Amino acid sequence: MAERRRAGRLVVPTKQAPADRALLERSAIEELSHHADPWRVLRILSEFVEGFDALNEVGPAITVFGSARAKPDDPYYKLGRSLGAALANKGFAVITGGGPGIMEAVNRGCHEAGGLSVGCNIELPHEQALNPYVDLGVEFRYFFVRKNMFVKYARGFVIFPGGFGTLDELFESLTLAQTGKIEHFPIVLFGTEYWSGLLEWLNDSVLGSGAINPEDLQLMTLTDDPEQAAEMATRPLPVEIEEDREQTGEPKADAR
């Protein structure tokens, strides 16, 4: 293994603690000096600027999450590849975490179909290198900066089967939609068999206890078909007509 590695625009020693850990775990020296955190804020700010600069011209895009552990012979890998192609054929870029597994599959399908394949990587022990199907890659050191990019530059999410990271992104997107921080943001769960148990628990236990409202469960849709998932995730924004179009002279638009 090389003694140094890339982290965004920085080259850092491979044995240096990840940036997120350094941010959350203060050393004894930092407790005494109180100087490290203010300077770290500037590094975080620079990472936001770099991400905004890189992704600002991506155009309409859908963010797709899923397990980094899926192999090319996994059925969901093949379906992820089909989804990437379906989104590219609709004129949408795809944004993933840039790693292997489902992320690679979606990037691959989009890339091979002639679409723009974007990867937002993070410094993790098993996800250092961007997969070879990424056309535009950005490396981040902080999870919360990376997660901001996933939402800011996408019109919707498709969530494939995955682990804690995938679940984290799912529930963060649901929270943002539930609280009105993001509007008209389709959240598509891909894989009926995989997600049905979670949906049953949300309905029986979480809704049953009154912790959420019935309409909160309607923030998600479920499918096993890549073409349908692409259609669900890219549905046009709702059009709210406040005045009669005949009077304003504006072109008519379908209210959805």
Q: CATH code at 161?
A: 3.40.50.450
Residue 39 counted as domain residue? no
What is the rounded distance in angstroms from the CA atom of residue 150 to the CA atom of residue 64? Answer: 9
Residue 31 counted as domain residue? no
Residue 159 counted as domain residue? yes
CA distances from 114 to 84, 135, 204, 232 (A): 10, 10, 43, 21
pLDDT at 130: 83
Arithmetic mean of pLDDT over the chain: 84
pLDDT bucket at 184, cuts 50 / 70 / 90: confident
pLDDT at 16: 61
Distance, CA of 142 to chain centre: 14
Residue of 155, 228, 220 lying closest to 188 (CA atoms): 220
Domain, as residue range, for 57: 52-233
Taking residues 228-251, report their average pLDDT: 64
Number of domains in the chain: 1
